[in-house]
């Protein structure tokens, strides 16, 4: 049974159909890529799946439970964590505090989180995750001092604090230097080897071809191809839509 299944998903903005009757699925333990040219509907689809937008039609299931009309906070609590193209760290808080904030319950303040962290030993776990993503030397540094790539690694650490069943990554290597791209790839592959499931939007074709087991391709909101990276790479419709060939 898929961890995530998307059936006939449609999202309109006025007369524009941003996502048009899309069917997709992600099995437990997979890394699945989602590609397509700018404006093809990738981020809109993620927003519908994660509860940031309300879909106009279709159904989204997480472990066979319908989550289509649930709020984003409820979806996250059920095990689906979604990151963004631009990391959403709290710049004035430290790296460690940002990771601890990922455990936040609705309407809970930072002081309560920190008090609960000590009582529940969450600080130990947060420190382990900061070390896992390679930010241990910056653990007390304000998150606003981190580079874009480091903030994306920080977001991965925060995602793992929630112990999700699937992580949706939106452009995890966008605007990141080569060294940190390799760090992000390595962390994703290591997490996947430990059983984490990923659904990833990525414009860096080499990155997604390297790590994805299967891929979906959107163009103007329509699913035009799916399959292994090699199959997608050689699809004429993909070449025309995505690469302009």
Interval 145-157: pLDDT, tens:
999 889 999 999 9
Interval 225-238: pLDDT, tens:
999 999 998 888 88
The reported pLDDT for the residue numbered 135 is 95
Banded model confidence at residue 112, pLDDT cuts 50, 70, 90? low
Banded model confidence at residue 108, pLDDT cuts 50, 70, 90? low
Contact 209, 233 (CB under 8 A): yes
- Helix, strand or coil, per DSSP, at residue 48: helix
Tell whether the model's pLDDT for residue 37 goes beyond 60. yes
What is the spatial distance between Cα 214 and Cα 67, in angstroms, rounded to a whole number? Answer: 23
Q: Does an H or E element contain 57, and which?
A: strand 57-62
User: Percent of the chain, pLDDT > 90?
Assistant: 70
Q: Between 15 and 10, name the one with better pLDDT.
A: 10
Contact 234, 54 (CB under 8 A): no
Q: What is the mean pLDDT of the chain?
A: 90
The residue extents of the domains of the chain are 4-242
What is the spatial distance between Cα 89 and Cα 144, in angstroms, rounded to a whole number? Answer: 8
Tell whether the model's pLDDT for residue 196 goes beyond 70. yes
Interval 22-36: pLDDT, tens:
999 999 999 999 999
Sequential DSSP letters for 104-128: PPTT--HHHHHHHHHHHTHHHHHHH
* Domain range 4-242, CATH architecture: 3-Layer(aba) Sandwich (3.40)
Banded model confidence at residue 85, pLDDT cuts 50, 70, 90? confident
H helix runs in 102-243, sequence order: 110-120, 122-132, 148-161, 178-193, 205-211, 229-233, 236-242
The reported pLDDT for the residue numbered 40 is 93
- Helix, strand or coil, per DSSP, at residue 136: helix
Contact 109, 115 (CB under 8 A): no
- Count other C-beta atoms under 10 Å from residue 147's C-beta: 12
Mean pLDDT (whole number) for 91-98: 92
The reported pLDDT for the residue numbered 87 is 76
Q: Which tokens is 69 given?
A: 């009309």
Q: Between 178 and 118, name the one with better pLDDT.
A: 178
Would you call 56 exposed, middle or buried from its count of C-beta atoms within 10 A (0-12, 13-18, 19+)?
A: middle
- Unique residue bearing structure tokens 């979806």: 75
Banded model confidence at residue 115, pLDDT cuts 50, 70, 90? low
Banded model confidence at residue 88, pLDDT cuts 50, 70, 90? confident
- The sign one gets for the Cα dihedral 74, 80, 83, 89 is positive
Mean pLDDT (whole number) for 190-216: 95
């Amino acid at each position: 049974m898929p961890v995530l299944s998307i059936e006939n998903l449609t999202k309109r903005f006025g007369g524009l159909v941003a996502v048009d009757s899309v069917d997709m699925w992600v099995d437990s333990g997979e890394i699945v890529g989602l590609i397509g040219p700018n404006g093809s509907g990738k981020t809109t689809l993620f927003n519908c799946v994660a509860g940031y937008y309300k879909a106009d039609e279709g159904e989204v299931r997480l472990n066979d439970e319908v989550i289509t009309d649930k709020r984003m906070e409820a979806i996250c609590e059920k095990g689906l964590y979604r990151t963004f193209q631009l990391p959403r760290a709290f710049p004035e808080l430290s790296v460690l505090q940002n990771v601890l904030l990922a455990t936040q319950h609705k309407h809970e303040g930072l002081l309560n989180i920190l008090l609960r962290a000590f009582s529940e030993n969450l600080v130990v776990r947060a420190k382990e995750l900061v070390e896992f993503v390679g930010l241990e030397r910056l653990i007390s540094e304000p998150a606003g001092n981190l580079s874009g790539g480091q903030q994306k690694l920080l977001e991965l650490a925060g995602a793992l604090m929630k112990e999700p069943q699937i992580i949706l990554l939106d452009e995890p290597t966008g605007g990141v230097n080569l060294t940190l791209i390799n760090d992000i790839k390595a962390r994703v592959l290591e997490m996947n080897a430990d059983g984490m499931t990923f659904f990833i939007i990525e414009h860096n074709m080499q990155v997604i071809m390297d790590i994805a087991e299967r891929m979906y391709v959107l163009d103007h909101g329509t699913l035009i191809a799916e399959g292994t990276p090699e199959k997608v790479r050689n699809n004429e419709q993909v070449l025309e839509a995505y690469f302009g060939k």
